[in-house]
Amino acid sequence: MDLRSYIKKYNRIIENFFSISLLNAISQIISFFLVPYLVAVLGFKTYGAYVFIYNIALYLVLFGTYGFRFSVTRQISINRDNRAEVNRIFNAAIAARLLLSSVAAIVAGIAVFMLMDADDMLMYLFSLGIVFGDVFIPVWLFQGMEQMRYLTIVNVVSKIVFALLVFILINEQGDYIYILILNSCGYIAAGLLSMFIAFRHYRLCFALPRWSDIVELLKDGWHIFVSNIGMELYRNSNCFLLGVLVNDTAVGIYNSVEKLVKVGQSVINALPMAIFPHASRLFHSGDMRENIAKLNKMLRVSFVLLFFVALAFACSPRLVVLYLAELDYTTAKYLVWLMSPVMIFGCLNYIAGIVGLVNLGASNLFERNIWIAGLLSVTLMLVFCKDYTYYAAAATWSIAETLLFVMCLLSIRSVKNRKLESANGVD
C-alpha cells in the first residue's frame, strides 16, 4: 500500500490524532505558563487552596461525565450515519449529565457548607460553572463522529481567553478567589460554542428524551463510570488527600510537578484517543485473534517510545527548578524520579484498558483492575502521606499505574484464552 492510499484509508484517525495533539499541546502550553505564574503570584499555600477546590469541581465533572466519554462515543461511532439515532443518543446523554451533575453539586455543596469556611464556600459556588459548562461539551459526540477538530476549536478558544484573563486580572495573592470564576467562564463559553456546532454542523436539536433512553445510557456506561471513579482514587485524589491530611503547601508543591507529567501524558495519549472510535467499530465485527495481535503490537511499540520519554523526564530536575523557581532542587529531583514511571504506564493503561478491554467487551475486568489499583493507592496515601507528604503521593501514583498495567495485561490474556476456548468448543 503506497503512502497516499494509506493516508486515504486512515485519514480520519490521522486527522483526529493531529486535532487531539494540537488541543492537548495548546492546553498544556497554556498550563505550562500559567502554573509558574500562579505559584509566583499566590505562593504554594494559596495556590494549593485553589487547586483543592478546583479538584472538587473536577470530581463533580467526573460524576456528571459518568462513563459517557467511552460508552456513548462507542454508540455514536456505530450509529453515526443515522442522524435520528444520533440525535436520540445526544439528547439522552445531555439530560443524563444534567441530572447527575445537579445531584452531585447539591450533595457536595452541603458538605462544603458544613465542613469548610466562607471563602471555600464562595470558591465552590464560583466553580459550579465548570461543572455545568462541561455538561454541554459533548466530547463523546465529536469523538464518535471522528471529527475532533471541532472539540479542538472549542477548547483552544476558551482556554486562550481564560489564560489571557488570568494574566490580566490575577495580580496579587488576594485575587486567587476569582480564578475559578475565570475557569467557569471558559467552560461555559466552550459549552455554548459546542452546542452551536452540534446544531449547525450535525443538524441536531434539543428534544425531551425518553426516560428509558436515559436509563439505557446509564446502564451501558456503568462499568466505565465505576472504573473512572476507581481511576480517580490514584490519579487525582492525591491532591485531595494531601489537602485534608497535610496542608495546602504540600498540595501546591505536588500539583505543580504533577502538572508537568500530565503535560506529557496529554500529548502522548492523543494517539490512543484518536484510535478508540476506529477500534470500537473494528472490534465490534473483526476477528478477535487479529484484534488482540494488533493491540499487543501497539503496546510493544508504545512501551519502547514511552521508555525514552520517561528517561528524558527523569533527567530533567534542573529544568523543573528553572520552571518553578520557588522549588528547591532536592525536592524537584525526588518528585521527578518518583513520577517518571507514570509517563510509561499511564498511556499504556489507556491502550490496554480503554482501547483494549473495553472494546473487547471486558469492561468489568478493567473496572476490577482499576479499583484494586485505586484502593491500594488510597491505602498507601493514608499510611504514608503524613510522614512523607508529596513524596508519598508521587510514589503512590507510580505504583498504582504500574500495578494496573500488569493486571490489564493479565486480563487481556484471560479474555483471549476464554474466547479461544469458547470458539474451540463451538467447533
Quickly list DSSP for 114-173.
HHS-HHHHHHHHHHHHHHHHHHT--HHHHHHTT-THHHHHHHHHHHHHHHHHHHHH--SG
Mean pLDDT of 208-214: 92
Q: At what angle do helices 179-201 and 11-65 cross, to 10 degrees?
A: 130
**Whole-number Cα distances in Å, 76 to 94, 143, 177, 217:** 14, 8, 39, 12
Whole-angstrom Cα distance, residue 402 to residue 124?
Answer: 34
- The count of C-alpha atoms lying within 13 angstroms of the C-alpha of 223, restricted to the half-sphere facing its C-beta, is 16
Whole-angstrom Cα distance, residue 362 to residue 364?
Answer: 5
Whole-angstrom Cα distance, residue 9 to residue 128?
Answer: 43
Least Cα distance to 83 among 198, 196, 190 occurs for: 198
Whole-angstrom Cα distance, residue 32 to residue 191?
Answer: 24
Per residue in 223-244, is it b (16+ CB within 10 Å) or e — as a string? bbbbbbbbbbbbbbbbbbbbbe
Burial class (CB within 10 angstroms; exposed 0-12, middle 13-18, buried 19+) of 106: exposed
DSSP code of residue 361? T
Q: How confident is the model at residue 425 (pLDDT cuts 50, 70, 90)?
A: low
Looking at residue 262, its pLDDT comes to 75
Q: Report whether pLDDT(68) > 90.
A: no
Looking at residue 12, its pLDDT comes to 63
Whole-angstrom Cα distance, residue 358 to residue 223?
Answer: 9
Q: CB–CB of 23/160 below 8 Å? A: no
Least Cα distance to 220 among 107, 351, 352, 70 occurs for: 70
Q: How confident is the model at residue 114 (pLDDT cuts 50, 70, 90)?
A: confident
Each residue's pLDDT tens digit, 133-188: 999 999 889 888 877 778 778 888 788 888 888 888 888 888 887 888 998 988 99
Q: Report whether pLDDT(376) > 60.
A: yes
